[in-house]
Amino acid sequence: MVSARPAVAAMPAYRPGRNPADLAREIGVERAVKLASNEVAFPPLPAVLQAIATTAAETNRYPDNGATVLTAALAERYGVQPAQVAVGCGAVTVCQQLAQAYNDPGTSIAFAWRSFEMYPLLAQVAGARTQQVPLVPGSPGAAPDTHDLPALAAAIDGTTRLVFVCNPNNPTGTAVRRAELERFLDEVPAATLVVLDEAYREFVTDPDVPDGVELMRGRPNVAVLRTFSKAWGLAGLRVGYLLAEDPAVADAVRRTHVPFSVSTLAQAAAVAALASEDEVRARCAAVVAERARLTAELRRRGLAVADSQANFVWLPLGERTTDVAAALEARAVITRPFAGEGLRVTVGTPEEDDVFLGALDEVLTSEPAGAAGT
């Protein structure tokens, strides 16, 4: 019998957000609301649709393996050289390329926990160990939701090849500030690569949450990871990218790239999206305004919701998480539970969020007295 590597056989399957049409059919309703996957609710940008339509006639040919036009556009936007840019099939694939490029068995990857759920899986595939550093409360008496950068720095040892800092953090939405992040980067050994995972950067409004590209400059062991899947509205086309101060880092990522994995349509769409940045910024502003409203409504219901810098909010429900998520699904609302910890809720349209709040009110009123604020 042919068997997979033990590390692969033991891996849990990644669980994407549930399809709302499937849930609607299952429970016999006309429509379900999906607030689980941190997608933006807006349709694709007009320029993106035009670029896809124009490029569709070229799909009998392989894509540009080097994503030359997109790489040049990203280099111009961020003020770097094309050699400092690596493009991949979504940011998570770039994460996997990083693990393949820098980790051998016996090495390790360090990150906060809870954070992006793929980090430990990527280490497992690479045969590397994980160094998971628990989150700490961002405010006195709150649930753990914030990076403990001093502890993360202390966890780094001679085996640590990669450190991921998810800022803002997924799934808690919290972010670390400039001074503490600069101190952390200055402490990390030169032989360890720090990847600032900024998938939600476009939704940041706190001026003290730094732009990772600024902190990257002058630090050859720092790289920045971003994506077109969130603010740019291209989740279905899969385009992520890495910016590296040291071109050798981007080169290592490109060497582990699966050929032709960023499609012709995806490349054209990303270039068109970059050219529509004003529209993207307006959409992000609308998401931020709705985030503030949703946060205020949740707090009005007695829920301890931290300030989010992303396009989702985090409800630290502890042991109630799974039950609340199931009860919401029974009411045609899909959220993202992390068992025993909390519920991540994507900021949707005002109408979608009102549906969620109404369902949540029903769930909370059916719970034992005093449970809502825990």
Mean pLDDT in residue range 174-193: 98
Tell me the pLDDT tens digit for each residue of 99-137: 999 999 999 999 999 999 999 999 999 999 999 999 999
Classify domain 6-44+278-365 at the CATH topology level.
Aspartate Aminotransferase, domain 1 (3.90.1150)
First to last CA, the chain: 50
Tell me the pLDDT tens digit for each residue of 2-37: 888 888 888 787 777 789 999 889 999 999 999 999
Q: Out of 61-65, 251-255, 334-338, 363-367, pick the least confident.
A: 363-367
Mean pLDDT in residue range 342-353: 98
This prediction's pTM: 0.95
Tell me the pLDDT tens digit for each residue of 199-246: 999 999 999 999 999 999 999 999 999 999 999 999 999 999 999 999
- Average per-residue pLDDT for the chain: 95
| pLDDT on residue 368 | 66
| pLDDT on residue 371 | 58
| pLDDT on residue 367 | 73
Mean pLDDT in residue range 24-53: 96
| pLDDT on residue 254 | 97
Instruction: Give me the residue spans of the domains in the chain.
Output: 6-44+278-365, 46-276
* Residue 166: strand pairing partners: 197
Domains 6-44+278-365 and 46-276 share a fold: no
- Does 369 score more than 60 pLDDT? no
| pLDDT on residue 223 | 98
Q: Which CATH class is domain 46-276?
A: alpha beta
